[in-house]
Amino acid sequence: MKLLLDEGVPLGLRQILAQHQPKVLQDLGWNGIRSVKLLASAESAGFGALLTTDINMSQRAQTGLRLAIVRLPTNNLRALLAMSAQILSAIESAQPGNVYEVSSTK
């Protein structure tokens, strides 16, 4: 699945996400784009999921969204690497239009 990493997601997380062709907003020149426009741009560009730490992103997800949103509980790289199995599981089970919350508990 083609994966977009939001601005708050640490770049070091890309190493565990390599199979999902992760791109960051900076790669695309999309820095600072607001949530609703970001979601529309990501869909247009063919991304299957957005990985974010933004707690408000799920509230901005619209009905009919063809993009899954996977929300991380923190932007701490060490903590996220420890949750890599949960993150990958959420991404791999993600369905368009749904929001997935990755839990910091096992």
Give me the residues paired with residue 78 across strands.
none
Q: Write the pLDDT tens digit of every residue in 61-84.
A: 655 678 899 999 999 999 999 999
For residue 1, the number of C-alpha atoms closer than 13 Å in the C-beta half-sphere is 25
**Helix, strand, coil percentages for the chain (3-state, nearest 5):** 40, 15, 45
Total-model pTM: 0.90
Round the average pLDDT of the chain to a whole number and report it.
Answer: 89
CATH code at 18? 3.40.50
Is 49 domain-assigned? yes
Number of domains in the chain: 1
Alpha-carbon dihedral angle through residues 66, 88, 80, 95, given to the nearest 10 degrees: 20
Which residues constitute the domain of residue 66?
3-101
With CA atoms as reference, report the closest residue to 51 among 90, 79, 15: 90
Is 106 domain-assigned? no
